[in-house]
Structure 1
Amino acid sequence: MAISLPKINWFYVFISICIAVPVGYGFADHELTWERKIKANYYIGERDTYVLGACLLPSALGHLATIWGHYFRAEREFQHSIAKVTTPASVNQKISLWERHIFWGYTVKYWILVAVTVLLNLTWFIFPMIMGTPDMIKRFGHLGGISRQVGNASGYTVVACCGMILFLVLRRSMLHAIGFTYSEIIPLHRWLGAAIVGWSTIHTAGYMIFLGSEGRLQSDINFYDKSRGTLNMMGVFAYGAVCILGLGAIPWVRRRFYLVFLSTHRFFTAVFFIGMITHYPSPMLWYYLLPSIVLFLVDRFVPKIIQARTIEPEATCTFNSDADIMRMTFVSREPMKPYYPGDYISVQIPMISTVYHPFTIASYWPEDPYTMTLYIRTFEDSKLSWTCALARLCGNEDKRIRVKANVDGVFGDRRHDYLKSETMIIFVAGAAITTFMSLIKAIAAQIAASKEPLRMQLHLICTFRTRSELHAYGSFLHQITRDPRFTSWLHVEIFVSRPDKPQTLMGAHAHVVKNDIMVPSNKAKKEKKKRFASLKRTGTILKRALSGRTIVASTTENEKAPSVESSEDTAANSKESSIRRSGSVHTVVGLEDIAEEAINEKGVVTTQEPLSAAAPTREMTYHEHALPTFQASHSTSVSTRLAKLDLLATFIMIAVPTAAWIAARTVPWEGPSNWCPTTKLKGTYVSANCRWTYAMIPGVIQIVVSSIAGYISLWLARKVLMRRGRDVEKGMPYPDLDVEEDKNLSVQDGNWDEGDVVYSKGRLDVKKAIQGFVDAGVGKKEKGTGLVAVFGGGPDGFVDMVEKQTKAANWTVDFHRETWAP
C-alpha cells in the first residue's frame, strides 16, 4: 500500500528560508564580528559582503515573493478557508495547532516568534559577557571590568534589537506570508521597544559604574572634551530619547493622546538613531539597520503608489449625527485591488492632518469591485480629534460631501482558519460590526455557489448604543435580518442599550422614524401611549403594514418579544437554531405569506389583506444585489495586473537606494584614500570623526534617495490617474466642493423604504448569553478544542468582558480578539 506524502508548499518553504538565513546570521553575528575579527571597514569590504548576502538579499527576495503572494496567496488561502463552511459534516476538521490561542489570548505561532526573539536577545548579551569578561577583569579589576563588559554587551544588544524592531511594523512582511497578521506582531514590536529601553538602561548603568570606579565621570561625559566626552554626551541624548519613547508608548498615554504619541514617536525615534550613531560612530551600526530600513521605506511608499494610481483622490462622506457614525466611500474607474474580510486601509485627509488613520473595510469586494466603504465612529471622541474634524467636513444623511483623501493599503493578509469550526459565535459592539460585514456576505456567497449545505452554525450577537446606530450601518443590518439568503442560516440577536437623542424624533431626522412602527410588548397601556406619543408629534401615519416594523422586546425572563414567522420559517428555524434564549427576537421573513397588519391611531393592531406576491417588497429588491464569489468577479485577473505594477515599484524602491548606499561606501569622504584607517595616531577625536563620517553619510544618502524615489513615484502615479480621464480638480473646491443629492443615498445610509431591524431593548448580558450556549451543549470539553470559535469585537473594555466571561464559562472554545484596525 502506497503511503501518500503531504504536498509541499514551496512558497512557504522559500519564505521560511528567506527568514531563517538572516535569523541564523543574527545568532552567528558575535562569532563573525568579534571572534573572527571581521572589521567594520571604512570602505566596502568583507563585512559588507556578509551583510548584503546573508541579510539584505534574502530579505529583499522574501519581500518580493511576499508581495507576489499577497495578491494570489491571500485569495487562495481565503477560498480554501471559506470552502470549509460547506464541507460535509462527516469530515472531521479542527483549528490547527499553529492558529490555536493559548496563553493570554495569543496564538502558538506568536509564542514561537517570542521565543526566537528572546533567544536572540540572550545570545547577543550572554556571548559577549562570556568571551570578554575575563580580559576586562584583568585590565580594570572586578568592579570596573564586569561593569564595563555589561555596558559593552548590553550596548551591542541594543544595536542588534534596533535592526529587528522596524521589521516588526511592516504591513506586508514575510511573517504575514507564513500566517502572522499585523495585529499579532505589533505587541512583539512594543515589547521589543521595552527591551531596548531596558538594555539601554543597563548599558548606561554599566558604564556609569565603570567611569565612576575609574574617576572619569566628569572627564568622559561633557561637551568640551574632543575625544570620548562629546560622544558620550550624544549617548546621553539618545538615552533620554529612548526613555521618552518608552513613556509615550504606555497604553494609557498612547490611546488618549494618539496624535501626540505618533508625532513624538517619529521625532524621538530619529533623535535616538542619530544619537546612537554619533555616540558610537562606526560603519558597523549600519549593517544592523540597513535591511530593516530598506524594507520599511518600501513598505511606506509602495502601497500608496498603487492606490494613488487606482483610487480617485477624493471620497464621498456623510455623517449621521444621531449615531455619531460617518460613512466614507472611495471609488475607482477600474476594479480595485481585491480585499478580503478583515482587511483595512489607512486614510489621510490633507485638510485635517498628514497622519494616516487605519479603518477596517466594511464593503464586500465582489459585490462592487469599483467602490470601497468605511464606517468611522466619533462617539466619545474629543472635539479636537481627527474623527470629529472629519465629521465637520462631511455632509448629512440626505446630502454627501466630497473631500480630498489619500489611501494607503490594502493591508491585512489574515488567515481564516476559524472557519473550520463547527460553531462560530460573534459578540460585537457598535462599529466593530464592520469587521464582520464582508465575512458574513462571503459566507452567504459560498452557500449560494456550493451544492453542499452550510456545515457550521453562525451566531451574531450585536449591541448598539441607540436605534439610530442601526440605521447608520446602511442596509447591511436590514439585509441580514430580512433577506432569506441570510436568515436561513444566520442567527442574529441585536440589542439597543440606550434611548435615542431627543432631536432624533423631533427634528430634521424625523424621516428616519417615519418608516418605523414600534410594536409594543406586553406592558402597561400607559407606557404604550407614551411610546407612540413621540411618533404622533412627527405626523407619522401609523397605519402601516407589519412587514415594515421595529419590534422592541424586553430582555427580562418573564417577558418575551412577539415574533411573527411563516409556518415554513418556523419549522426551519426550529431545526437549524440550537440556541433560543429567553427574550431574544428573531427575524421576520416570508412577507408574501404574512397577513398585513396595521395599527390604527389608538394603537390597536388590525389585520389587512395578504400582500401580493408581486408586491415590490424589500425581500425581493435584495435579489437585485447579487453576492458573487471572488472568482466570479475575476479577482485573479485584477490581482495579476496590479501585482506586476507592485513588483516593479518594489524592485525599484529596493534596488536604486541600495545601489546608492553601495556607491557611497566606495567614496573616500575624509582625506585621501586610506587616510582614516591611520588616524589612531592622530588622536581619538580625529579617529571618531572619520568613523562618524563613514557611518552617517552612506545611510543618509540611502534614505534621501529612497524618499525622493518614493515621492516622485507618487506624483507620477497621480499624473497617470489624471491622464486616464479623471479631471477631479475641475470645478471642485474643498471642503464643501460639491454637495451631491443622491436618490439612492437614503437606502444606502439606512433610511429604508420598508421595515426596520428587529432588536431587543436593553443591555446585552454576555454571561447569560454564554450560559445559553453552554446549556445547549455548545463547546463541551469532552469534544476538545478547535470546534467552537468565539469572537469578541469592539472596544477593549467590551472585548475584555467577553474574554473574561468566555474563560469563566464551563466550555472549551478558541477565543479571538477583534478590536479596531491596527
Structure 2
Amino acid sequence: MAIAFKVPRLMSPFYVFIIICTLIPIAYSAGDYWFTWKLKIKANYFYGERDYYVLGACIAPSVLGHIATIWGHYYRAEREFQHSIAKVTTPASVNQKISLWERHIWWGYTVKYWIMVAFTVLLNVAWFVTPMVTGTSAMIERFGNLGGISRMVGNASGYTVVACCGMILFLVLRRSMLHAIGFTYSEIVPLHRWLGAAIVGWSTIHTAGYMIFLGSEGRLQSDINFYDKSRGTLNMMGVFAYGAVCLLGLGAIPQIRRRCYLLFLSTHRFFTAVFFIGMITHFPNPMLWYYLLPTIILFLVDRFVPKVMQARTVLPEATCSFNSDADIIRMTFTSPEPMKPYYPGDYISVQIPKIGTVYHPFTIASYWPEDPYSMTLYIRTFEDSKLSWTCNLAKLCGNDDKRIRVRANVDGVFGDRRHDYLKSETMIIFVAGAAITTFMSLIKAIAAQIAASDEPLRMQLHLICTFRTRSELHAYGSFLHQITRDPRFTSWLHVEIFVSRPDKPQTLLGAHAHVVKNDIQVPSKSLRNEKKKRFMSFKRTGTMLKRALSGRTIVVDNEKSTATTPATSDVAGETAANSEDSSLRRSGSVHTVVDLEDIAEEAPESSGSSSSDVITKEKTALAAKEPLSANAPTRAMTYNDQPLPTFQASNSTSVATKWAKLDLLVTCTIVFIPLAAWCVARTVSWEGPDNWCPTTKLRGTIISAKCRWTYALIPGVIQIIIASIAGYFAVWLARTVLLRRGRDVETGLPYPDFETEDERLAIEDGNWDEGDVVYTKGRLDVKKAIQGFVDAGVGKKENGHGLVSVFGGGPDGFVAMIEKHTNAANWSVDFHRETWAP
C-alpha cells in the first residue's frame, strides 16, 4: 500500500485510460476539417467510410471512457475518499500540501480549471483558423476580396459553432470522464456557460459574414425566404436557429437566471431543442451528427441511468416535515435495502410530482455508514417567493414538524468532489444557515477516522456558523448539539455559533418553546470604546464557559465520580487529540464531567448578570433534576448508542459492487441499442435506391431541401427516440421491481412506522431538552474573525501555499463576502466556494 501511494494518482492505469479516451475524440474533432475537406474522405448520405472513422475515433472512446468512469464512480469512490480522509491522521512529520493542480488562483478557480479554459480557447481558435487558411484564397478568386473574405468568415465561424455544439453537452454531464480525472461539476458548469457565450458570438459572426456576402452578390432577398424550396428555405431555418441561440444567451445572464430560475430552465430546454433543429435543417448534412452524436449519447445516459438506479432503490414516498419557526424542511428518503454509498458533498435531485416536473438539487446531510437505508435533506425556505418550489413544498409538508409522506422521485446520487483539502493542516469553515448540511457528513467522517485510527489528529478544524434565529439551530436534529457536547468531536473541532436575529414572536409560545428557552448566550463585542474593558471581561468569561461546556457530558460511575475539564486549544494552539488515548478514541467512550463551581471560581469577575447568571442558571437547571440512577439514560450514553462507523465497517464495498453491476447493465442498454438503430438507419435508402438524392437546377447542382432534411434528420431522431423509450421503460421497470419486492416482504410497502421513527427521533432530538447551546448573539464579523486567524499566525505566507483551506458556504452574497475578506487579508489560504446560487 505504501508503494502504491508513491505513484502519482494521474499516472495510474485507470487515469491514463480515461485521459486517452478523452483526448482521442478531441484530437479527432480538432483535425476533422482536414479529414472532411482537405483529404476529401468520401462522405455521402449512406453508411460509409466516414462513419468508420467517427465510430472508431470518436464514439467508441467516448463510450468506453464513460463506462470506465462508471466503474470508477462505484469501485474507486471509496478508495479515493479513504485515501483523502486518512490524511487527517497522517503524522505531522510527513510533508503534504494541496497539489498545484487543485489550488485556487484567479477569481476563485483552480489551476486545472484555467488549463481546461486555455485548452478550449485553443480548440476554438483551431476550428476557426483551419478553414480560413485552407479556403480563403479560393473564395477570393471566385467572389473577390469582400465577397470571398466575408463568405469564408461565415463558413469558418459556422463550422466552429457546430464543433462547439459537439462539446457543450459534454460539459453538463453529472458523471463524465472529466470528473474521473479530477474536475468537479461546479468547475465545469462555468465553462459550459462561457462556451454557450462563444456559440452566440460565433453565430453572430456567421450571420454577419453571410449577410455581407449575400449583400455584395445582390442575393440577400432571393436567398432568405420561404418560397425557394432550396437555399432560401434553408437560410430561413438558420434565422430561426440564430434567434433561438440569442434568446438562450439572454436567459443565461446571471441576473435573469437567478431571479427566474424555473422559467430559465424551461425556456433553456425549449430553445436548445429549437436551436439544434434549426441548425440541422439550416445545413442538413449527416456529417453534423458526427459532432453531435457522441455527446448526445452520453447526455441521454446521464439523464436516464441515475433515475433508474434510484427508482430501483428509493421508495416512491418520502417523509417530509416543516419547521415553521426555522423555515426549514426536513425530508427523508428510505430504502428496503442498503443504498449506494454516498460520500461527503454528494447530492441528489428531487422532483415532487404534485408541484412540478423540474428536479431540484440538494446536498445530502446524512452520513451513510450511520444508516445505509436512508438519506436526509434539509431544505431552506426563508425569503423565497410564495410561488417558489420550496414554499410550495413547505405548504405540502404542513407545520409544527408533523411528518407526512409525499410522492417524490429522486435523480442521483451525484458526487465528484475532490477531497485534497483534507491534506491541509488547518481547515476553516464559514457557513450560513442551511449550508451547514454540506459539511455535516464530512465532520462525522473525520470523527470516525479519528476514532478508528491509532495516529494522532494532525488537522485543526474551525467551524464558524451564523444562523438567523435560535430556533434555526434546532432544525438540524442533534448535530449541532453533538459536535459541541460529544468528546469525540470537541477534542478536535472548534465551533463558534452566531445568531443574528430574534426569534419569531410566536416561537416562544409555539411547539418548539421548550427547545430554545434556555440557550446560553455569549455577549457580542460592544461598539462603544468606553465599554471595551467590560466587553473583554465578558469575552474571556464567555470563552472559558464555552470551552468548559463544549466537552461536558454527564455520566454516572457507581464507584467513583470524577470531574475533569477537557483539554482545549485556541486558534493557533495544539490539537488536544494528540494527548488522547487511541483506545478511548476508537471506542468513542471518552467521558468528562464538568464541575460548574470550578468554572465559576476560575471565571473572572464581571459587572452585570452576564456569564455569572448563565452559570447560576446552569447549576439551578442541573440541581432541579432528579438524582441520576445507574441505569438512567444520559447524553453520553445516547451518543455512545449512536456510533460513528467508517464506510468499511458498514460493508460499503460489497454494496457498491451490487449497484455497479446494475448501473453498467442499464448504461450499455441505453448506449448500444439506440446506436445500433442509428447505424441501421444510416444504411436505408430514404429517397430511392441510388446513393445520391434527386437534384434541382435552380442554381447549379443543389440538393433539394426535402431530400437533405430526410437523410440528415431521420437517423439521428430514430436514435434519440429509441434511447428515450429505453430510458423511460428502464425507470418504469426498476420502480415495478422495487414495489413488487415490497409486497413480497410484507403486506404493503416496507415503509418505516411513524411511531418507530418518533421513538428514534425522540432519543436523538431529546438532547435539546437541556437547552444549553452556546452561541454569540449578534452578527458574524467576518473581517475580525479572519484577522483573528491572521494575528494567531494561521496561514502565514512564508509557510507556503496549500497548508490552510477556507470554505465559504451559503448564499452567493455571503460566500462572496467571505472570499472578499479572504483575499484582502494578509494570509496564504486556499479558498473554496460552496454556494447554492443557480
TM-score, normalization by structure 1: 0.90
Which letter maps to 1:572?
A
**Alignment of structure 1 residues 161-560 onto 2, 5 Å:** 161-513=164-516, 516=518, 518=520, 557=536, 559-560=538-539
Distance in 1 of aligned mates of 2:440 and 2:410: 21
**Alignment of structure 1 residues 526-605 onto 2, 5 Å:** 557=536, 559-560=538-539, 562=542, 563-564=544-545, 565=548, 570=565, 572-574=567-569, 578=573, 592-595=593-596
**Alignment of structure 1 residues 768-807 onto 2, 5 Å:** 768-807=784-823
Q: Is the 8 A contact 1:470 1:750 kept in 2?
A: no
CA positional deviation for 1:333: 1.0
Distance in 2 of aligned mates of 1:788 and 1:152: 50
Aligned to 2:832: 816
CA distances 1:232-255 after superposition (whole Å, capped 9, x unpaired): 111000000000000111111111
1:11 aligns with 2:14: yes
1:704/1:105 CA distance change after superposition, 3 Å: same
CA positional deviation for 1:322: 1.1
Distance in 1 of aligned mates of 2:478 and 2:680: 58
CA positional deviation for 1:572: 1.3
Gaps of 5+ in 2: 527-532, 553-561, 576-589, 601-611
Which letter maps to 2:758?
D
Residue number among 51, 54, 61 corresponding to 1:51 in the alignment: 54
Distance in 2 of aligned mates of 1:102 and 1:750: 45
Distance in 2 of aligned mates of 1:204 and 1:682: 22
1:492/1:678 CA distance change after superposition, 3 Å: same
Q: Is the 8 A contact 1:400 1:741 kept in 2?
A: no
1:617/1:668 CA distance change after superposition, 3 Å: same
Aligned to 1:549: none
Aligned to 1:125: 128
Distance in 2 of aligned mates of 1:354 and 1:745: 31
CA positional deviation for 1:47: 1.0
Which letter maps to 2:233?
T
Distance in 2 of aligned mates of 1:730 and 1:604: 50
Q: Secondary structure at the match of 2:175?
A: coil
CA distances 1:533-582 after superposition (whole Å, capped 9, x unpaired): xxxxxxxxxxxxxxxxxxxxx995563253432798656114786399xx
Q: CA RMSD in A?
A: 3.0
Q: Is the 8 A contact 1:466 1:498 kept in 2?
A: yes
1:747/1:199 CA distance change after superposition, 3 Å: farther
Q: Secondary structure at the match of 1:408?
A: strand
Distance in 2 of aligned mates of 1:211 and 1:367: 68
Q: Secondary structure at the match of 1:149?
A: helix
Q: Secondary structure at the match of 2:31?
A: helix
Aligned to 1:662: 679
Identity %: 77
1:796/1:654 CA distance change after superposition, 3 Å: same
Aligned to 2:741: 724
CA positional deviation for 1:72: 1.5
Distance in 2 of aligned mates of 1:713 and 1:475: 39
1:192/1:730 CA distance change after superposition, 3 Å: farther
Aligned to 2:654: 637
Aligned to 2:709: 692
1:605/1:76 CA distance change after superposition, 3 Å: closer
**Alignment of structure 1 residues 52-91 onto 2, 5 Å:** 52-91=55-94
Q: Is the 8 A contact 2:322 2:402 kept in 1?
A: no
1:76/1:603 CA distance change after superposition, 3 Å: closer
1:120/1:435 CA distance change after superposition, 3 Å: same
CA positional deviation for 1:522: 11
1:795/1:398 CA distance change after superposition, 3 Å: closer
Q: Secondary structure at the match of 1:676?
A: coil
Q: Secondary structure at the match of 2:463?
A: strand
Distance in 1 of aligned mates of 2:255 and 2:746: 42
Q: Is the 8 A contact 1:471 1:751 kept in 2?
A: no
CA positional deviation for 1:613: 8.3
Q: Is the 8 A contact 1:211 1:217 kept in 2?
A: yes
Which letter maps to 1:255?
R
Q: Secondary structure at the match of 1:743?
A: helix
Q: Is the 8 A contact 2:347 2:364 kept in 1?
A: yes
CA positional deviation for 1:821: 8.2
CA positional deviation for 1:364: 0.4
1:35 aligns with 2:38: yes
Q: Is the 8 A contact 1:376 1:431 kept in 2?
A: yes
Q: Is the 8 A contact 2:301 2:667 kept in 1?
A: yes
CA positional deviation for 1:40: 3.0
Q: Is the 8 A contact 1:155 1:203 kept in 2?
A: yes
Distance in 1 of aligned mates of 2:481 and 2:185: 32
1:557/1:25 CA distance change after superposition, 3 Å: farther
1:754 aligns with 2:755: no
Distance in 2 of aligned mates of 1:750 and 1:684: 83
Q: Is the 8 A contact 2:521 2:776 kept in 1?
A: no
Q: Is the 8 A contact 1:398 1:746 kept in 2?
A: no
CA positional deviation for 1:23: 1.1
Distance in 2 of aligned mates of 1:301 and 1:123: 34
Q: Is the 8 A contact 1:747 1:753 kept in 2?
A: no
Gaps of 5+ in 1: 525-553, 581-588
Q: Is the 8 A contact 2:147 2:213 kept in 1?
A: yes
CA positional deviation for 1:413: 2.0
Distance in 1 of aligned mates of 2:88 and 2:128: 49
Name whichever of 741-750 and 197-206 sits farther off. 741-750
Q: Secondary structure at the match of 2:770?
A: coil
Q: Is the 8 A contact 1:303 1:409 kept in 2?
A: yes
Q: Is the 8 A contact 1:81 1:420 kept in 2?
A: yes
Distance in 2 of aligned mates of 1:792 and 1:94: 20
Distance in 1 of aligned mates of 2:640 and 2:618: 34
Which letter maps to 1:164?
M
Aligned to 2:155: 152
Aligned to 1:542: none
Which letter maps to 1:181?
T
Which letter maps to 1:203?
H
Q: Secondary structure at the match of 1:219?
A: coil
Q: Is the 8 A contact 1:245 1:268 kept in 2?
A: yes
Q: Is the 8 A contact 2:565 2:593 kept in 1?
A: no
TM-score, normalization by structure 2: 0.88
1:163/1:603 CA distance change after superposition, 3 Å: closer
Distance in 2 of aligned mates of 1:555 and 1:314: 55
Q: Is the 8 A contact 2:310 2:410 kept in 1?
A: yes
Aligned to 1:96: 99
1:31/1:572 CA distance change after superposition, 3 Å: same
Q: Secondary structure at the match of 1:264?
A: helix
Q: Say how many residue pairs are matched.
A: 779
CA positional deviation for 1:473: 1.0
CA distances 1:156-197 after superposition (whole Å, capped 9, x unpaired): 000000000000000000000001111110000000000000
Q: Secondary structure at the match of 1:663?
A: helix
CA positional deviation for 1:412: 1.2
